[in-house]
Amino acid sequence: MSEVPHFVDRLHRDLREVGWPEPAEIRARARRRSRRKAALSALTVLAVLAGSAVAVRQRSTVSSSTPAAPVAASSPAPARAEIPLDALLAPADLLTTTRVRLGGAGLGETVRVDPLLESCGREREVAAQLPVSRASRSQTLLRPADGADASARPVLTQDVYRIEPARGRWFFDEIDRLLDACSRWNLVTSTLTAEQQPVRTHQEHRWEPSVRDFAGDQSVLLRHVALQPRAEPDGEPVGMPSTVENTVVVRVGDLVSVVVPARETVVDRVDDTSPGIDYGPLIDVGKAAASRLCPAAARPAGPPC
């Protein structure tokens, strides 16, 4: 127990010899310690943020180097196919009064200009490759029936076809091939006589382009003369008398209009005794048909139609 007092004495002596800092210095040391802790905390936060930024850059690099998943390309707008009713001639476009309108629409039909002209081409081994339309629309305008005639007679028929745009000019080249081969064609067939007896006959047909390029992007007025059939072998005329039929063909862009006026609506003669036909009314019909086609046609950039 005697050692305890000696230990206590030494402790008191050592404590008296210890130099204690002033209170101001103690407070200064406490402030420095607090700043060091704050700096270390800030460095820790910066290190975490830097690591996050590196990770983000790495992910961005990987994403940019990795091919992006293909995005489905938007499908192009479908090509116009339908033919609106406004693309057809209206009764107001004609000089003749019409009040009855018959018509229909179709798909995938071959463009028809003159079936008899095509038959001549096939016989002469000039099979024209007439285009197949994507869509078509047809109409027949009828003259109103009067008291003397209860039947409504046609004023004109019209077919409008939508074809591939690249085949427009080529289509008119095919018409020219047929016209070159069939300027004159002798059709052998059978005809009924006045006594209703069948007789073998031959009938001469002629086609010519009367007027060209009067409307739209391309146009032609075809004149078809069918002479009266003649019986074989004596050559006596039989059957219906000679007739003339005019066909107006107009193209605007990818639309083609084929207009056939009724024979009695056009003053035309087969012989050469008349001063000549006035094609003005038919040309006017062609121009009206072109103006009707224009809003519905697909055309390349260029002057307005």
271 contacts 243 by C-beta, under 8 angstroms = no
CA distances from 200 to 190, 196, 241 (A): 4, 13, 16
Label residue 34 by pLDDT band (50, 70, 90).
Answer: very low
Q: How many residues does the chain have?
A: 305
- In a 3-state reduction of DSSP, which class is residue 192? strand
- Bridge partner residues of 160 (DSSP): 137, 257
Label residue 76 by pLDDT band (50, 70, 90).
Answer: very low
Label residue 150 by pLDDT band (50, 70, 90).
Answer: low
pTM: 0.69
Burial letters 24-59, b for 16+ CB under 10 A, else e: eeeeeeeeeeeeeeeeeeeeeeeeeeeeeeeeeeee
Lowest mean pLDDT segment, chosen from 6-20, 184-198, 231-245, 278-292: 6-20
Q: Which stretch, 14-18, 29-33, 236-240, has highest mean pLDDT?
A: 236-240
Please tell me the predicted confidence (pLDDT) of residue 226. 93
Q: How far apart are CA 72 and CA 77, in angstroms?
A: 15
105 contacts 139 by C-beta, under 8 angstroms = no
